[in-house]
Amino acid sequence: MTIRRYSGPTATDVPGEYRVWLSDQLSPDFRRRFRALAESNEIRPLRLRLEKNAATFTFVSAGDLKTELQMIDRLLKEANG
């Protein structure tokens, strides 16, 4: 199963923070790979945070959503293996 960005980003109640919905629930292996990749120097500034029991995550935007979503899509592709 390939996890991809399903919808979003949608602004949360926190200024600058957005939520992205994913196409399916995340396996424990996918979550581990995603978290490890999210700690890279390129991605870390987004402060990605997986929701505990949902197929969503949040991130903090620096103001360039188009570029940030491209980075997120690359991250998801890598995490899928």
Whether the pTM exceeds 0.85: the reply is yes
- Rounded to an integer, what distance in angstroms lies between the CA atom of residue 28 and that of residue 12? 25
Three-state secondary-structure class, residue 69: helix
Domain residue spans of the chain: 5-76
The one-digit pLDDT tens for each residue of the chain (81 residues) are 799 999 989 999 999 999 999 999 988 999 999 989 888 888 888 999 998 888 999 999 999 999 999 999 999 999 998
The pLDDT value recorded for residue 10 is 96
| pLDDT given for residue 81 in this prediction | 82
With H, G, I as helix, E, B as strand and everything else as coil, classify residue 25: coil
Chain-centroid distance, C-alpha 43: 10
